[in-house]
Amino acid sequence: MSLGRLNHVGIAVPSLDEGVARYERMFGVTEISEVIELPEQGVRVRFVETPNSQIELLEPMGENSPVAKFLERHPQGGQHHVCFEVPDAHAAKAEFEAKGVRVLSPPRVGAHGTLVIFLHPKDMGGVLTELMEPVARA
């Protein structure tokens, strides 16, 4: 399996509104997605468009949100994960497990509407790593 494009960098924020306002104020960014709710993953997200990628701002949703736990350790928020594209999430899961990497859940539908998996940060040099199937591009 080959490593695909860096799709986005995930950044945990205590408040999506404040997170979005910061990118607007600091960089004059105007292209920002609406709120996408992922209750299964305990997050509410918005994507800030950059010329070659996206920033995914993540706000906790619900008490058991992994992002809420992250914010307990980093109250200001901060870099949470990186996401690379892979052609097939199920194949990627099998391949990484065969390499001894813990995959955090079965492939499930992510914020882009395609299948994603997450690799345990302790097996990835401290970096929570998301792998997603790409969105069909025109």
CB of 17 to Co ion, least distance (A): 19
5: left (phi over 0), alpha (psi -120 to 50) or beta: beta
Query: Which of 36, 44, 42, 39 lies closest to 15, judged by CA?
Result: 44
State yes or no: is 72 an active-site residue.
no
Rounded distance, CA 88 to CA 116, Å?
Answer: 9
83 part of the interface to Co ion, by CB under 5 A: yes
Q: How far is the CB of 46 from Co ion (least distance, A)?
A: 12
Residue among 103, 130, 131, 133 that touches Co ion (CB under 5 A) = 130
Measured from the CB of residue 119, what is the shortest distance to Co ion in angstroms?
12
Secondary structure tally for the chain: helices H, strands E: 3, 8
- Select the span of 12-20, 69-77, 80-88, 95-103 touching Co ion (CB under 5 A): 80-88
Instruction: Point out the residues that are catalytic.
Output: 130
